Chain A
Amino acid sequence: MTSYDYLIIGSGPGGTTAAKIISEYTNSTIAVVEEGSRNSSKINMGSFEDLSKRYRYGGAEIVFGSPSTSIAEGRGLGGGSEVNSGIYHRIPNQKVENWSKNFNIENLSTESLQDDYSYIENWLKIDNSNQNSKGLSKVIKNCAIKKNLEFEECKTWNKNKSSNVKNSMSVAFYDTEPKNINLYLNTKVNKIFFDSNRLATEVECFDGKSKFNIKFKFLIIACGTFQTPLLLHRSGYKFSNNLSFGIHPHLKIGAYFKEKILGEEIVSSCQIKLPNFNASLGSSINTNSWKALFLLDSWNNYNAEFNFEKLGIFYSMIIPSGTGKLRFSKILNNYFLSFKYSEKDKKNLYDSSKLLVEMLLETEAEKIIFPNKNISTLFKSSNFQYQDFRKNFKHFSLHSVHTFSSMRIGNRNSECDSFGILNNSKNVLISDASIVPGPPGVNPQGAIMALTSRNIRKILN
Chain B
Amino acid sequence: MVNKFLVLIIIEELGLMKTNIDKIYEKLNQRMELLNKIYHIPLKLFFTFMNILNLLLFFIPTQTMYKYSFKLFSYIGGPFNLLTKLLKSYIVLDYFEELKND
Contacts and interface: CB of A to CB of B under 8 A. Distances in A.
A288 interface: yes
B100 A48 contact: no
Contacts of B36: 57, 61, 334
B25 to A, nearest CB: 13
Interface stretch (A4-12, A144-152, A290-298): A290-298
B30 A52 contact: yes
Given A48-B94, A62-B82, A288-B96, A296 B89 contact: yes
A290 B39 CA distance: 23
Given A68-B82, A302-B15, A48 B97 contact: yes
A60 interface: yes
Contact of A47 (B30, B31, B97): B97
Interface residues of B, number: 24
A58 B34 contact: yes
B31 A58 contact: yes
A332 interface: yes
A299 B31 contact: no
A336 B38 contact: yes
B82 A290 contact: no
B14 A299 contact: yes
B60 interface: no
Chief secondary structure at chain A's binding surface: helix
B34 A288 contact: no
Interface in B50-102: 82, 85-86, 88-89, 92-97, 99-100
Interface residues of A, number: 24
Interface string A25-68: 00000000000000000000001100110000110111000001
Given A48-B27, A48-B97, A289-B97, A296 B92 contact: yes
**Residue among B27, B34, B88, B100 with the highest chain A CB neighbour number at 10 A:** B34
Interface of B: 14-15, 27, 30-31, 34-39, 82, 85-86, 88-89, 92-97, 99-100
Interface of A: 47-48, 51-52, 57-58, 60-62, 68, 288-293, 296, 299, 302-303, 329, 332, 334, 336
